[in-house]
Amino acid sequence: MAERKAPTVLGNVAAYLWQQNKLEHLTDLLKLATPVITEQYRTDRRVGAVMPQVSGDARWPIELRYNPDRDVDIGRLLYEWRVVAIQMMDTWGVPPPPALKVSADKNVPLHDVVVMAGNVETRIEVPTLRSFVLVSENEMPERLQAWFDAHKTQWARVEADALKDGGPWWLVPSWTQPLFEAAGHQVSPKEALIAAALGQVLTAQPRLTLNAQNVAYLLSRLEGAGFKRTVAEALASRGGIDGLVEDLRALVARGYPLVNLEYVLDSLAAYPRSQFSSAAVAEDVEKDQTAATLRGGVRFAGAHAATTEAAKSVPAEDIVPYRDTADRKTGSPQPLRVYLGDDLVDYFATPEGELQPRILGVLADLRGELFKRFGIVVPGVNFKGAILDPTRKLAPKAFRIELLTQTWADRDAIAIEVPDPDRAVDQFIGELRRRLLAWRTWWVTADYVDKQLERNEPLKTWLLERYALSDIKSLLRGVLAPTDAELGAYNAEGVEGALRRVAPGQSLRELNWLLGSLVFWSQAGLDGAQLVRALQDTQAARLAPDPQSLPDRPVPGLLAGIDALEQRDFPRAERRFSEAVAADRRGAIASFPAAYASRDVVSVKGALNKVSQPCIDSHAAPSRPSGSRNGWKPCSCRRQR
């Protein structure tokens, strides 16, 4: 009975004496109350009792062995491990099994645990003490820090190698818990130390966690979320599941997370395994993810055979251990994430948690601007409250924007202070607009290209016989890519100054028409960079206010090739274009853009309709969140508060 009442009574006493700054008096009282302040103080002991147990004879990917003489609450350990497993998925994109197989083994040293992952055995030295709990010295309030400094020499510091992040860490007597609670500083049971140390080892050695089973399941979830072509391109380029497992391990080993895995796969697809090892590609992909433009120019992997869907590559029973954690991230990809400080929520969301009409309007305008200027459709924005910000430090009058694989640690994703909350929406839209424009190439994915090509199946067939979807994606990104001068101008001159540096041909409007020109350009013997410029010249000719006049005597075969192209007779168009290039390569290249643009049959009315269509087209953006309005997801910030 006394033990059950202790948290209430001692909590009130501790809160009062903390407010009175009588910490030594509180210390003496708590020491006297040691018998009723157990390690399970303020914890629900039923939590450990209901945690799922993995039977001893079950085949399981991760097993933890410990000495049976060790003082450890197995139920609490299983609970703490589940917390760590979820954090690993949320922070690293790595899905360990949330249930842990735990076995007693007298051969394990008393203060160690042994991790078994397949045939790999790893020993972790992680001492714990009976009647001690875990605290971090990091970010202690000033008064608490002074008290802690006066007493910590009596307690045990956790070795830095055992637990690196968020420390220094200490094991302190359980009687200190009411004092830490009154100070607002987190205390965890000693089993949390074992769980965290295990998570640290699995992250540092991704070969223990990432395998064909959980990677295949992550990929199958992405396939179902609208990234089927992105997954297929990565599998084909990187040697199937086994190759991708090796690649992803190399990335995590470099300290790079796999959050928003679809964009990691997007980069991997550009590096054929025959030319790039896993170690080399990990470095390149990490650099790709922080760059707004193509690194190293356009690369062609070439057309390749279809790959088996990831979901079919691994038996269903092998995926079971990972499903709870893997399902957390890949169900609803969120490439645009906005975190709002508490004082800004009312400017963005209604009391019901929906986006304010003004927000919906300005976001729709921004979406329309990007399509009208560049011919691209951007994904939806996911709004979240400060409580969901991974930093847990977002100021009330601040917001953060994360793109793609960015995390809170990226320079471009730092919190932005809002001096005048009444102008919060304007300031936010300005920041979002700059990012969407500067990073516009990333909204063109293999799945985006595949969706656009569905409108012209004969063209799609012709293209995929000669190029991989990743090749086409790379070309189109090259057409859109901002120059260094444009990127520099965003900070130096603002958005309008940067946009003045955008060339007329940097657009994907009338995409099928533009890609149709590859039937000619493929005959001209151009490399990747030259093909990009040729596509830009072709687009510029169509958009020019004063169309270039055709030569009096066009190169023989050129107009006949364009006629065949309009009739979707691609073999005949290839033959005629080949004849034209053979007859006068320079003349054919010089006159094709104007000749092709003059035959563009897109009407003014049709073009105007296409400008507004992305704002209402439900299938235009494959990554559009469910339940969204005009492609922008309702605000979840208020419901989470």
- Out of 389, 407, 434, a domain closes at 434
For residue 246, the SS3 value is helix
Give pLDDT tens digits for 580-600.
999 999 999 999 999 999 875
Give pLDDT tens digits for 273-294.
999 999 999 998 888 877 766 5
Average pLDDT of the residues in 121-133? 92
Average pLDDT of the residues in 2-24? 83
Question: Are the beta carbons of 415 and 480 closer than 8 angstroms?
Answer: no
Q: d(Cα 543, Cα 537) in Å, to the nearest integer?
A: 10
- Out of 286, 305, 329, a domain closes at 329
Q: Considering the domain boundaries, does residue 394 fall inside one?
A: yes
Token code pair at residue 12: 């009130």
Q: Considering the domain boundaries, does residue 7 fall inside one?
A: yes
For residue 632, the SS3 value is strand
Give the residue with greater pLDDT, 61 vs 299: 61
CA distances from 5 to 14, 36, 43, 98 (A): 14, 9, 13, 33
Max mean pLDDT range (366-370, 543-547, 605-609): 366-370
**What are the DSSP calls for 367-435, one per residue?**
HHHHHHHH---PPPPEEEEGGG-TTS---TTEEEEEETT--TTSGGG--EE-S-GGGHHHHHHHHHHHH
Please give the DSSP secondary-structure letter assigned to residue 556: T
Q: Considering the domain boundaries, does residue 618 fall inside one?
A: no
* Predicted pLDDT of residue 9: 84
Q: Are residues 143 and 47 located together in one domain of the fold? A: yes
* Predicted pLDDT of residue 333: 58
Name 470's Cβ contacts closer than 8 Å, sequence gap at least 6.
233, 237, 269, 270, 301, 446
Nearest to 221, CA basis, from 161, 310, 128, 301: 310
* Predicted pLDDT of residue 174: 94
Q: According to the 3-state scheme, what is the secondary structure of 459-523?
A: HHHHHHCCCCHHHHHHHHHHHHCCCHHHHHHHHHCHHHHHHCCCCCCCCCCCHHHHHHCHHHHCC
* Predicted pLDDT of residue 298: 60
Token code pair at residue 456: 């012209």
Give pLDDT tens digits for 217-242.
889 888 888 889 999 999 999 999 99
- Percentage of the chain exceeding pLDDT 90: 47
Name 346's Cβ contacts closer than 8 Å, sequence gap at least 6.
none
Q: Which residue type does 513 have?
A: W
Q: How far is CA 333 from the centre of its chain?
A: 8
* CATH number of the domain residue 374 falls in: 3.40.30.60
Q: d(Cα 617, Cα 503) in Å, to the nearest integer?
A: 27
CB atoms < 10 A from the CB of 187, how many?
A: 21
Q: Is the dihedral of CA 2, 8, 13, 15 positive or negative?
A: positive
Please give the DSSP secondary-structure letter assigned to residue 114: E
Query: How many Cα atoms are found within 13 Å in the side-chain-facing hemisphere of 240?
Result: 10
CA distances from 45 to 3, 40, 79, 171 (A): 13, 7, 11, 21
Give pLDDT tens digits for 384-426.
898 888 777 889 999 999 888 787 777 888 899 999 999 999 9
- Which range has the worst mean pLDDT, 310-324, 491-505, 528-542? 310-324
* Predicted pLDDT of residue 491: 83
* Predicted pLDDT of residue 628: 38
* Torsion from C-alpha of 91, 97, 101, 106, nearest 10 degrees: -40
Q: Are residues 36 and 150 located together in one domain of the fold? A: yes
Q: d(Cα 348, Cα 360) in Å, to the nearest integer?
A: 9
Q: Considering the domain boundaries, does residue 636 fall inside one?
A: no
Q: Are residues 429 and 515 located together in one domain of the fold? A: no
Q: For residue 401, what are the β-bridge partners?
A: 338
Query: What confidence tier does 621 reach under pLDDT thresholds 50, 70, 90?
Result: very low
- Percentage of the chain exceeding pLDDT 70: 86
Q: Are residues 44 and 145 located together in one domain of the fold? A: yes
CA angle 366–371–373, rounded 5-degree value: 95
Name 26's Cβ contacts closer than 8 Å, sequence gap at least 6.
13, 14, 17, 18, 178, 179, 182
Query: What confidence tier does 627 reach under pLDDT thresholds 50, 70, 90?
Result: very low
Give pLDDT tens digits for 543-574.
887 766 666 677 888 999 999 998 999 999 99
Q: Considering the domain boundaries, does residue 68 fall inside one?
A: yes
* CATH number of the domain residue 125 falls in: 3.40.30
Max mean pLDDT range (57-61, 367-371, 544-548): 367-371
Question: Are the beta carbons of 357 and 425 closer than 8 angstroms?
Answer: no
Q: Considering the domain boundaries, does residue 632 fall inside one?
A: no
Q: For residue 156, what are the β-bridge partners?
A: 171
Q: Are residues 276 and 413 located together in one domain of the fold? A: no
pLDDT, mean over the chain: 84
Question: Are the beta carbons of 411 and 473 closer than 8 angstroms?
Answer: no
Give pLDDT tens digits for 202-215.
999 999 999 988 89
* Predicted pLDDT of residue 630: 39
Give pLDDT tens digits for 498-535.
898 898 899 998 899 999 999 999 999 898 889 999 99
Give the residue with greater pLDDT, 315 vs 148: 148
Q: Considering the domain boundaries, does residue 639 fall inside one?
A: no
Q: Are residues 160 and 12 located together in one domain of the fold? A: yes
Query: What confidence tier does 303 reach under pLDDT thresholds 50, 70, 90?
Result: low
What spatial distance separates the first Cα and last Cα of the chain, rounded to whole Å?
35
Q: d(Cα 51, Cα 64) in Å, to the nearest integer?
A: 16
Burial class (CB in 10 A: 0-12, 13-18, 19+), 409: exposed
* Predicted pLDDT of residue 620: 37
- Out of 434, 468, 488, a domain closes at 434
Q: Are residues 317 and 391 located together in one domain of the fold? A: no
Q: Considering the domain boundaries, does residue 163 fall inside one?
A: yes
Give pLDDT tens digits for 155-185.
999 987 888 888 899 999 999 999 999 999 9
Is 60 exceeded by the pLDDT of residue 330?
Answer: no
* pTM score of the predicted model: 0.79
Please give the DSSP secondary-structure letter assigned to residue 296: S
Q: Are residues 80 and 202 located together in one domain of the fold? A: yes
Q: Are residues 430 and 458 located together in one domain of the fold? A: no
Please state the domain count of the chain.
Answer: 4
Which domain does 367 fall in, by range?
334-434
Q: Are residues 67 and 33 located together in one domain of the fold? A: yes
Please give the DSSP secondary-structure letter assigned to residue 65: E
Query: What confidence tier does 605 reach under pLDDT thresholds 50, 70, 90?
Result: very low
Q: Are residues 30 and 154 located together in one domain of the fold? A: yes
Q: Are residues 192 and 114 located together in one domain of the fold? A: yes
* Predicted pLDDT of residue 390: 79
Give the residue with greater pLDDT, 344 vs 504: 344
